[in-house]
Structure 1
């Protein structure tokens, strides 16, 4: 009887482990934040981003409100983490561009809305979902991608992306 329970537990654990969506190998994130009015605002975002143990460095451009976050290799971060950190500081994401390895897209819940993946060692892509672009841009994108069923559903665990390079 114990053997049957042990086998069941092992099988259940394997199913659980393989069903978890993974987000792997983001090497850099470029975040343009909105709502900032002073250097203290950017400092609040900077502090929030630096609380992530995967962060190596955060560079800030006060002229464009851009935060370039360099990450440790092998991290498992989701783009949602950056959005949450910016919002925790009291601001919003106007744009999020991610640099990663191409296999990151095939191993997770990224949905490519343009082109095909290149053979480059690293790719850049922009997250197009609500909360990762300005409200005005989201309205425009909603019209553009109205035939993309997953975009209309607005599932926060799916990330619709557009390749930049």
Structure 2
């Protein structure tokens, strides 16, 4: 009986952590856009996700600010896939997320986390989430982070920016 109680308690804790783990907002700067039709292609891909509440587009900077619905469990990989499906690439991906999201498996912190535990802003530094030029610079500066050179698509190297 005691074992069953422990298992049930563990499962409840696990599921409650997952429901709190989420990305609140994604700021995607896309590369390769030449016109408003390009922007529309990305916009359409981002809005096709059921987790998306709103997409704001800044054509001057080619930035898409994606506000997400409460309780989502998206990863940066989804945004990369959507932008690439539209025929473009991510030049920068900045996420606003609940702090516990970043502490989950898959996120590797490359700098010290801020002291507050509510929401944090991070930039994803992996190949495909920054420009090629930026990735080359980061490869040199992050050479001491063993996982960075591996380019595992399920690892997200996160730099806190607030």
TM over 0.5: yes
Aligned length: 148
Query: In structure 2, what is the equivalent of residue 163 of structure 1?
Result: 160
Query: In structure 2, what is the equivalent of residue 94 of structure 1?
Result: 91
- For residues 130-165 of structure 1, the C-alpha deviation after alignment (integer angstroms, 9 at most, x for no partner) is 000000000000000111100011111000010010
Q: Compared with structure 1, are the counterparts of its residues 22 and 136 closer, same or farther at alpha carbon in structure 2 (3 Å cutoff)?
A: farther
- CA RMSD after TM alignment: 1.9
- The one of 62, 65, 70 equivalent to 2:62 is 65
Instruction: Return the TM-score normalized by structure 1.
Output: 0.85
Aligned-residue offset at 1:117: 4.0
The higher radius of gyration belongs to: 1
The question of whether the paired residues in 2 share the 8 Å contact of 1:112 and 1:161 is answered with yes
Superposition map of 1:1-165 within 5 A: 24-165=21-162
Query: Structure 1: which 5+ runs fail to align?
Result: 1-13
Q: Output the CA distance in 1 between the equivalents of 2:20 and 2:153.
A: 14
Instruction: Return the TM-score normalized by structure 2.
Output: 0.86
Query: Structure 2: which 5+ runs fail to align?
Result: 1-10
